[in-house]
Structure 1
């Protein structure tokens, strides 16, 4: 079922993750939101009208036509959590704990610092964004794991206000929102969700103006989380107005396997990725023809055993998946680095050694026991990862997406900084910036 390709046939295809039609549709929705603004209750700026968001959410099927709110209350999230079985609660809390521990360790790895400079000090300060927006898909499958990955990471970064948006959230999604402690849960999706978090939504008051029916949603400084093509398109539009994590394309996995690999496990991991979406991609890279043949047989038999709609989705995704026979492990590594996959699994005899030599990937999974799905469900590292070769220059979602690392300098001793002043005067004139040179000259003794 995996198309055979030679190393010479494989090239990194840089594709625009933004669908042109979705971009046009997302822009129309965002324009509609922006054209309906009102003054906010607590902010000095204007924000989107709650009536406009309600209208769009009803029209696009996020909420029923007779619903008068797009907010899920904390008590509803609590009720959803309470409705879970004890084992379900335990798993959700375990996942929350592991992601929280990892994210908090990330946060503690970067700190304020200062160094001496001529005549004074320079340094950096590390501080969180004020408001973070998190998106969790609610389409074919509810993804409570995405709630944990985004909201918990924003909390660990220190963001004082965290908003979650998820269309038609399932009870397990609301339970995850409760565990992760999202401040506001919006039951809207697509471009309208991204717009509401980017621009903010004013409070909706009762007719007499004395009671807040729907609370205010503040504009977010950064918006993160995976979503459909309208979410991706909207994120590309608001990028710059606020920060975003990435423009993610179809999900992908690449497995490097040698003759010691278990074909059943490799096949299961490829299928797990393929069932994500019809445009997902699963890639096997090996230096052993026998492994490729055995994995192909296992993929064929295992995918047939999947229930619907998982089977049909995986079958479609496998049409664009492939295997590569390489001459040795060195060439396997070269193929992986060229493709820079979102998920990279190493299933070889010396998996750590091979992993150490791999340079480009979103997330790395070392050894037969380290299934990519364990990363999906909260081993600790974030599962929101770069796709489409972007792992060549960026990494996955982390606390750093929500942090501002800002630099500062202070001059205390005018005499000690004179050489630096003269260097600045000289360089400014070499660049032809006379105003810069004269500004530095004002600091001469």
Structure 2
């Protein structure tokens, strides 16, 4: 079960998102799709098992609508309710990001906020279909105001296609891996070149996103899933174990951590992990993930808070007395879940906040996917009172000559 690690042995985690070998091989795929377009995209999709030979690369919006129509009324309602909760939260986010104008010497300056035009939204489809990721990414892009939204997902199931329709996607690329990211970045005969590429994926997806970053905007370079539970003796071991396993079943490389002031809770949680694994259909994956995982017994909640801030996990659950007070002292996390009832899985499945979050300690420097990912903040200035701007002009002239940039100085002098 969870191995015990001492407080001092937990170092700040900051993993490289992808290994060098994967990056090298992914580069060959990306270059081939860039140079050959659909031909290379089809070749890789067939060779890697995304598509049957001769199957179409792209599933149209109409086909996705048909997939939705064939779902049960219950599943249709599930998708539409989840999409609406994500949409409501994203709209609230969007309202907090606004244009700004202020006075400057002789005029005004400010910024406007405008969406990108084309977005590519990746949803994994390997071990399990993830329609929730389709909704999280594509709905958020639409709320931001993106005009053209494509989803990419290998071997899409009916519910994945239906989710693309509910999210408002224009089409679905039935291809995964580095080849899908390359197609979204560079465009092919069938796929438009995107301004932004977002969404979780395996190491091949992550490697390709790293390779095309700079040509297009990306959300983040995410690695395997993570959860840290910070708990005291008020936490319920059955619930803690259930939450840890929910994250562990994602991926054999996932990691879960229990930090607690109660050694009894740690022991009880380990007993529960063993019991719950016996009936868990995904126990093989979860058992592997638990090998990457650990528990830490801390002297106080203050020490637990310091440890959580050091780790900067993707997901951070607070199961303590006065959880709100504890939460206010936490600084580094992708998503925060406050109190015994705030299960991380409720965030995964559409409470509102996005589930595409930073991993590997990168929560210290970046946040999760949001409408801001698809927005550009562009500055402007206007000077219509040149007399009032003369102090600014003189400073520009002097600074330019300090830097040895005479043409800059002369340009500013034209405004005297």
Q: TM range, normalised to the smaller chain?
A: over 0.9
Contact (CA 8 Å) 2:119, 2:141: kept in 1 or not? yes
Q: Paired residues, what number?
A: 416
Please name the residue that 1:240 is paired with: 214
Deviation at 1:163, TM superposition (A): 0.7
Please name the residue that 2:157 is paired with: 170
The alignment status of 1:197 with 2:217, answered yes or no, reads no
The alignment status of 1:30 with 2:37, answered yes or no, reads no
Matched ranges for 1:35-434 at <5 A:
35-36=35-36, 48=37, 50-67=38-55, 69-202=56-189, 216-307=190-281, 310-434=282-406
Distance 1:357 1:31 in 2: 46
Deviation at 1:245, TM superposition (A): 0.6
Deviation at 1:349, TM superposition (A): 0.8
Distance 2:171 2:61 in 1: 8
Question: Secondary structure of the equivalent of 1:233?
Answer: helix
Question: Secondary structure of the equivalent of 1:89?
Answer: helix
Deviation at 1:433, TM superposition (A): 2.9
1:23-42, CA deviations, whole angstroms, 9 ceiling, x for partnerless residues?
A: 12211111112222xxxxxx
1:62-94, CA deviations, whole angstroms, 9 ceiling, x for partnerless residues?
A: 111132x21112232122212222222111111
1:233-282, CA deviations, whole angstroms, 9 ceiling, x for partnerless residues?
A: 11111111111111101110000000111111111101101000000000
1:357-387, CA deviations, whole angstroms, 9 ceiling, x for partnerless residues?
A: 1000000000000000000000000000000
Deviation at 1:144, TM superposition (A): 0.2
Please name the residue that 1:208 is paired with: none
Unaligned runs of 5+ in 2: none
Distance 2:150 2:369 in 1: 16
Question: Secondary structure of the equivalent of 2:25?
Answer: helix
Provide the alpha-carbon RMSD of the alignment. 1.1
Question: Secondary structure of the equivalent of 1:17?
Answer: coil
Question: Secondary structure of the equivalent of 1:349?
Answer: coil
Question: Secondary structure of the equivalent of 2:292?
Answer: coil
Unaligned runs of 5+ in 1: 37-47, 203-215
Distance 1:83 1:376 in 2: 25
Bigger shift: residues 224-233 or 15-24: 15-24
Contact (CA 8 Å) 2:34, 2:187: kept in 1 or not? no
Question: Secondary structure of the equivalent of 2:78?
Answer: helix
Deviation at 1:52, TM superposition (A): 3.2
Deviation at 1:389, TM superposition (A): 0.4
